[in-house]
């Protein structure tokens, strides 16, 4: 097995995000606490399981907005207060400093 020189941070929605996402009167899908809807981020390896929060504090805003836009694209509907404390109330953050590459073929990187 090969390892990748990155730390991974997994972002999992908590009840406040789930409640917000389910608050819209539309025919779209609903989120449920027992169904995992997670986002994993590869961050620089110098941010490990002991100090990943330094990275999160510097970058939470764009991550928060990406999570909000994945459910509702209109920023005027997003919560007005999007500080780091709210981010931590809305999302669980799980770090891991070991990542194994088990796939075949090259890794393709695309802009999102």
| Statement: residue 31 has pLDDT above 80 | no
| Statement: residue 33 has pLDDT above 80 | no
- Mean per-residue pLDDT, 65-93: 95
What pLDDT score was predicted for residue 92?
A: 96
Domain locations in the chain as residue ranges = 2-101
Q: Are 56 and 88 in contact (CB under 8 A)?
A: no
Q: How confident is the model at residue 69 (pLDDT cuts 50, 70, 90)?
A: very high
H-run or E-run covering 69: helix 52-71
- Mean per-residue pLDDT, 15-28: 86
Q: How many CB atoms lie within 10 A of CB 87?
A: 19
What pLDDT score was predicted for residue 11?
A: 96
| Statement: residue 112 has pLDDT above 80 | no
Distance of alpha carbon 70 from its chain centroid, rounded?
A: 10
Higher pLDDT, 85 or 98: 85
């Amino acid at each position: 097995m090969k390892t990748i020189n990155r730390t991974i941070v997994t972002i999992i929605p908590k009840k406040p995000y789930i409640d917000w996402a389910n608050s819209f009167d539309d025919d779209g899908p609903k989120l449920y606490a027992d169904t995992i809807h997670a986002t994993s981020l590869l961050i620089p390896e110098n941010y490990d399981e002991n100090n990943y929060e330094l990275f999160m504090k510097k970058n939470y805003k764009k991550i928060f907005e990406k999570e909000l836009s994945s459910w509702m694209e209109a920023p005027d509907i997003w919560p007005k207060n999007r500080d780091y404390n709210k981010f931590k109330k809305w999302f669980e953050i799980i770090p891991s400093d070991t990542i194994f590459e088990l796939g075949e073929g090259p890794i393709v990187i695309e802009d999102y």
